[in-house]
């Protein structure tokens, strides 16, 4: 919940001039001066997979431009180390100790009606809401389906399983399946309708319909650079990307060529969104965020070590070390967010719902784990963060906590607690548990206090 201090900071900010001159113009046109939000999230993109975060073998110029024109955060965290729970945390403002979806679930039961999502909060505040890409929180007909959780417009993959295929036979347009006839293979016919491009086309069409008269929330959960593991079993390469990218002739293994090509394609899609915002004159009154849902994958035949996708961090997707959960996070809004800034502010996906509620003057739901990060997001200084918590179920129950400089990891409810000092050991190499028993005891207490049991995700070990 919003603290009185945060409320005072927000009122002082408004008194000092508000969002920007562009926002004032939008207010005169009837938009109320509230900024639009474009939230772009890659799938399985690691901390080291952007050139503005140190990638040296391929480049991401459009995403780098976002960082040059805004703030690049170095201590931002995803909601989980895999797809669905990370998205649930983002949408509901509750970490994996409390949210309804704590793992990738076979059968996609969907989040319940009782969950209040970011889209519902913003739509209630008068925002147009659209999502294009991978939802992963409930199939059509279920309470968790995107159009039943606050989105006016939805176009993308039916579910998380279908999202592995970059040339599917159909995509969902709201509640109706839209056939992609170019992908129905007969004989030697090669599928041609690349899902990210079809999804992007629909996103741009929706964006074209928006104006300064009404604020909008555009959520773009791209599937790039997630692998198609099913295709990899047939071909050895699950990194599906159209031919013609600049890395296809590099002397690299085919999956690594494909991964770099996917990153090139993702960067191109980001550039298209930004070009459209600029062409419509909306980019100065639009908060644009780019991030990833978890750490890099080792799927589709690729090796994340080839491009050092975790950067200076240890671990990948499905790990609770930093490489599995710390992600790139860039925020841009010219005239409001300072350009070319790097921030060490600790923040996590569960902070974004209360942050966006504060930003848009929407009503903040009760019972959230996150707090508003509006001040750091606007480059107004860093603030302390309460302990951060994750739990994960694949391969046995695991927990992690970050509290200040300290990071604790435990496997099993009674497993040994590992303790790391992130200020001196970002790679989490030296376990300091034996040297700091008092901190270990505090972490053990927090492991119990920061979660509730979930009937859908019982602890098995």
Query: Tens digits of per-residue pLDDT, 315-348?
Result: 999 999 999 999 999 999 999 999 999 999 999 9
Q: Nearest 5°: CA angle at 258, between 158 and 162?
A: 10
The dihedral through the CA atoms of 321, 102, 128, 139 has a sign that is positive
Closest CA to 144 of 168, 123, 120: 120
Give the mean model confidence (pLDDT) for residues 156-182: 93
Tens of pLDDT, residue by residue over 347-356, are 999 999 999 9
Q: What percent of the chain has pLDDT over 70?
A: 91
Percentage, residues of the chain above pLDDT 90: 83
- Residue 232 — pLDDT band, cuts 50, 70, 90? low
Which pLDDT belongs to residue 183?
Answer: 83
Nearest to 258 by CA among 220, 293, 301: 301
More confident residue, 141 or 128: 128
Closest CA to 200 of 130, 247, 283, 278: 130
Q: Per this entry, what is the length of the chain? A: 461
pLDDT (average), residues 421-449: 98
Residue 2 has pLDDT above 80, yes or no: no
pLDDT surpassing 50 at residue 265: yes
Question: What pLDDT is recorded for position 21?
Answer: 37
Residue 18 has pLDDT above 70, yes or no: no
Q: Which of helix, strand or coil describes residue 193?
A: coil
Inform me whether the pLDDT recorded for 75 exceeds 80: yes
Average pLDDT (95-109) is 85
What is the reported pLDDT for 188? 65
Distance in angstroms (rounded) separating the CA atoms of residues 336 and 293? 26
All domains of the chain in start order, with CATH: 4-386 (3.40.720.10), 395-449 (3.30.1120.10)
pLDDT of residue 5 exceeding 50, the answer is no
Element (H, E) at 221: strand 216-221
What local confidence, expressed as pLDDT, does residue 185 receive? Answer: 67
Residue 134 pLDDT: 97
- Please provide residue 407's backbone torsions phi and psi, each rounded to the nearest 5 degrees: -125, 125
Question: The pTM is what?
Answer: 0.92
Mean pLDDT of the chain: 91
Spatial CA neighbour of 374 closest among 387, 350, 356: 356
pLDDT top residue among 133 and 8: 133
Burial class (CB in 10 A: 0-12, 13-18, 19+), 53: buried
């Amino acid at each position: 919940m919003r603290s009185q201090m945060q409320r005072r900071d927000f009122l002082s900010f408004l008194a000092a001039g508000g969002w920007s001159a562009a926002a004032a113009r939008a207010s005169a046109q009837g938009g109320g001066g509230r900024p639009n939000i474009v939230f772009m999230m890659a799938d399985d993109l690691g901390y080291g997979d952007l050139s503005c975060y140190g990638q040296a073998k391929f480049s991401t110029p459009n995403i780098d431009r976002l960082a040059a024109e805004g703030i690049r955060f170095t201590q931002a965290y995803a909601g989980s180390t895999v797809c669905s729970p990370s998205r649930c945390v983002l949408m509901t403002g509750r970490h994996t100790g409390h949210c309804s979806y704590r793992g990738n679930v076979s059968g996609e039961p969907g989040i319940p009606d009782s969950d209040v999502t970011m889209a519902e909060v913003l739509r209630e505040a008068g925002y147009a809401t659209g999502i294009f890409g991978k939802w992963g929180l409930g199939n059509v007909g279920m309470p968790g389906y995107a159009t039943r959780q606050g989105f006016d417009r939805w176009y993308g993959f039916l579910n998380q399983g279908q999202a592995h295929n970059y040339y599917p036979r159909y995509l969902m347009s709201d509640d109706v399946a839209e056939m992609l006839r170019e992908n129905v293979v007969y004989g030697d016919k090669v599928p041609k309708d690349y899902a990210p491009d079809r999804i992007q086309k629909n996103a741009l069409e929706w964006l074209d319909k928006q104006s300064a008269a009404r604020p909008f929330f555009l959520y773009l959960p791209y599937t790039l650079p997630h692998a198609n593991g099913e295709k990899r079993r047939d071909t050895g390469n699950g990194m599906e990307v159209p031919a013609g990218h600049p890395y296809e002739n590099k002397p690299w293994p085919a999956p690594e060529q494909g991964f770099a090509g996917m990153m090139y394609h993702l960067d191109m899609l980001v550039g298209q969104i930004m070009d459209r915002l600029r062409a419509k004159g909306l980019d100065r009154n639009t908060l644009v965020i780019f991030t990833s849902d978890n750490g890099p994958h080792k799927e589709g035949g690729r090796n994340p070590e080839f491009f050092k996708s975790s950067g200076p961090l240890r671990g990948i997707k499905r790990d609770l070390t930093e490489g599995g959960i710390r992600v790139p996070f860039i925020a841009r809004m010219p005239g409001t967010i300072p350009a070319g800034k790097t921030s060490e502010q600790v923040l996590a996906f569960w902070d974004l719902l209360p942050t966006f509620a504060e930003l848009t003057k929407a009503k903040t739901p009760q019972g959230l784990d996150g707090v508003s990060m509006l001040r750091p997001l606007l480059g107004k200084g860093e603030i302390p963060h309460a302990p951060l918590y994750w739990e994960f179920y694949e391969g046995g129950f695991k927990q992690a906590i970050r509290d200040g400089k300290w990071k604790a990891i435990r496997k099993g409810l009674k497993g040994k607690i590992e303790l790391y000092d992130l200020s001196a050991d970002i790679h989490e190499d030296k376990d300091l548990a034996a040297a700091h028993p008092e901190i270990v005891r505090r972490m053990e207490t927090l492991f119990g206090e920061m979660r509730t049991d979930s009937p859908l995700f019982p602890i098995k070990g």
